Amino acid sequence: MGRLIDRDGLGRFSEGSRLFATGAADSSYNLALDWARSVVGRGVELVAAGELAPDTLCVAISLVGSTTALGEQLPAGDEPERAVRALERRLGERAGAVVALNLAAENALVPLIGAAALGVPLVDGDGTGRVFPLVEQTTYALGGMSPVPLALAGGSGELVLLETGAGRVEELLRPVVLSVGGWAVAACYPMAAGDLARVLVPGTVSLLMRAGEPGVPRSAAAPYGVRTLCRGRILAVEGSTGHGSDLALPSLPSSIVLRESEGLRRLVRLEAHNEIVLALADGAVVATVPDQICMISTADGMVVDVDKAEPGLELDIMVVRAAPVWHTDRGLALGGPRAFGIPL
């Protein structure tokens, strides 16, 4: 069967989870890491979905809302367990394993915390292979799995069960999360292990544990490949109304303009809507979602979030290739440029 993620493995896993993570605040990440250390005990079993009995109920666990809010409003500590138990009561069945929605920083640690609290294995994989802003934007959904029923546990004892059409989850979820303090833990996408094995991006927990080892290159965290688009210095950060004005995403559009430091010294424009969704060099498209476009600070090697970009910063722009399913017609419809308001 699987192997254990102990305190040493947790350290490597957490380091790997930050290599391409956007939106992770130091305060909330450190809080989640301390939380995980406090519950990991002798270790959490890591298993492949195919090692479980095919009818085993698996539940995805994810932090939803603002990581900044998590750093300001501390968890009680039982949120993942309360969310999963509520979903079990609704389904009349016990969960036999948990899995991540995505594996970026805090969202890598919260499922592990849930697995430790519940005494069940963590599945080696996740539902995106990267990060998307909406609960509906997953390989689970691409495989025909529904995010609902969804149970939400807030930091002040709140518990909400959501059932709706799959396309309305985010619309209803966001105001509820705001009302409970800006963050919560969701238990969602209940499915049998046989289905999970078919729809997840496999092996990504093991991958990040390997990528978090000292001396291993950042590219090890990118299973489908990564390329450096350019190195440049930010010239301007601008508001944008050129795309996505009619989309219900948790951000406003913006544009980041860089001058390439070497080579052709191209003018590079990054269009962002919750994340960087399009990169142009001298007006030509050079990268788009569903691939993940990251700004990496040359000063400290950390990911720079869109809302932290400012003139003068020197960056490497890196493009992480998305899992192959995101480059199918269905994947592009759910996570490609048009899903972010860009008609490409």
CA distance 254 to 271: 6
* Res 142: pLDDT: 97
* 59 has a pLDDT exceeding 60: yes
Using a pLDDT cut of 70, give the percent of the chain over it: 95
* 112 has a pLDDT exceeding 50: yes
* Res 275: pLDDT: 86
DSSP code per residue over 189-227? EEEEHHHHHHHSEETHHHHHHHHTSTT--GGGG-TT-EE
- Which helix (H) or strand (E) covers residue 162, if one does? strand 159-162
Q: Which of 278, 320, 337 is nearest to 128 (CA)?
A: 320
Residue with tokens 């689970």: 140
Non-local (6+) Cβ contacts of 26 within 8 A are: none
* 103 has a pLDDT exceeding 80: yes
CB 291 within 8 A of CB 335: no
Q: Which of 311, 313, 330, 331 is nearest to 322 (CA)?
A: 331
* Res 243: pLDDT: 47
The 8-class DSSP code of residue 81 comes to: H
* Res 15: pLDDT: 95
Backbone angles phi, psi at 35, to 5 degrees: -60, -45
* Res 2: pLDDT: 64
Residue with tokens 């932290």: 308
CA distance 237 to 167: 32
What confidence tens digit (pLDDT) does each residue in 119-129 have?
999 999 999 99
What confidence tens digit (pLDDT) does each residue in 252-287 have?
678 999 999 988 999 999 999 878 999 999 999 999
* Res 167: pLDDT: 82
What is the SS3 assignment for 310? coil
- Which helix (H) or strand (E) covers residue 98, if one does? strand 97-100
Mean pLDDT within 239-253? 52
CB 274 within 8 A of CB 285: no
What confidence tens digit (pLDDT) does each residue in 189-202 have?
999 999 999 999 99
Least confident of 1-15, 21-35, 84-98, 310-324: 21-35
* 249 has a pLDDT exceeding 80: no
CA distance 288 to 269: 12
* Res 68: pLDDT: 83
* 250 has a pLDDT exceeding 80: no
CA distance 45 to 129: 21
* 238 has a pLDDT exceeding 90: no
* Res 273: pLDDT: 81
Confidence of residue 240 (pLDDT cuts 50, 70, 90): low
Non-local (6+) Cβ contacts of 140 within 8 A are: 60, 127, 147, 189, 191, 196, 199, 200
Structure tokens at 93: 């069945």
Average pLDDT, the chain: 92
Q: Which of 225, 204, 226 is nearest to 296 (CA)?
A: 226
User: What type of residue sits at position 6?
Assistant: D
Non-local (6+) Cβ contacts of 85 within 8 A are: none
Using a pLDDT cut of 90, give the percent of the chain over it: 82
What confidence tens digit (pLDDT) does each residue in 23-35 have?
666 888 999 999 9
Query: Pairing mode, if any, of strands 183-192 and 57-65?
Result: antiparallel
Q: Which of 327, 133, 325 is nearest to 247 (CA)?
A: 133
User: What type of residue sits at position 7?
Assistant: R
CA distance 163 to 259: 48
Q: Taking the model in full, what pTM does it have? A: 0.92
CA distance 10 to 104: 14
What confidence tens digit (pLDDT) does each residue in 128-175 have?
998 888 899 999 999 999 999 999 999 999 999 999 987 899 999 999
What is the SS3 assignment for 133? coil
* 251 has a pLDDT exceeding 90: no
CA distance 190 to 193: 10
